Amino acid sequence: MRLFFCFLFLLTCFTCSENEEDENCKFLLNVGVNVPVNLNLPEYGQLQYTGNSVYIPNEGNAGIIVANINSSFYAWDASDPNYIPNTCSPLVPSGLEASSNCGNGNTYSLATGTPLYDSTLRCSLKFYPVKQTGNTLYITN
């Protein structure tokens, strides 16, 4: 009887400590990000208008996509979180959506970071906080 309770206790400990994270959502690294975005510069001029987005290369895992949604700014890692990183991993923004260039059809909302059109995709985009001071956005993690 005592052996039964010991077995039950150990079983409970191991099942409770199990990591609840989805194993498929571990493609992206936790890379340090600290990017200032001056909205007065021509390359970021589109962000002055709601519904637009801009790709910033060489940051995060595969660049960063910044979107203006009703004068609030959202920043996402541009790497497709449902795909093993490679040369086609950076998502291509278009308005408030970003699509994969890998031929898999993965498309994400830049308002929520969630997958669009395919309910089988399990991972959402990696979010980076944005703080605005005047005409400069600070994207950090």
What CATH number does residue 81 fall under? 2.102.10.10
Residue type, 98: A
- Segments forming the whole domain that contains residue 114: 42-140
Query: Hey, is 110 helix, strand or coil?
Result: coil
Q: In this structure, is residue 111 part of a structural domain?
A: yes
This model's pTM is above 0.85: no
Q: What phi and psi values does residue 113 have, to the nearest 5 degrees?
A: 80, 0
Q: How many domains does the chain contain in total? A: 1
Q: Please list, residue by residue across 88-118, b when 16 or more beta carbons sit within 10 angstroms of its beta carbon and e when fewer do.
A: ebbbebeebbbbbebeeebbbbbeebebeee
Is 50 inside any structural domain?
yes
Tell me, yes or no, whether 19 lies in a domain: no
Asked if residue 104 belongs to a domain, the reply is: yes
12 assigned to some structural domain: no
Q: Provide φ and ψ at 74, rounded to 5°.
A: -125, 140
Per-residue pLDDT of the chain (141 residues; tens, 9 = 90+): 544 443 444 434 444 334 345 566 888 889 899 999 999 999 999 999 999 999 999 999 999 999 999 989 999 999 999 988 888 889 999 999 999 988 888 999 999 999 998 888 899 999 999 999 999 999 998
Of the candidates 73, 83, 85, 86, the residue with the CA atom closest to the CA atom of residue 35? 73
Whether 98 maps to a domain, the answer reads yes
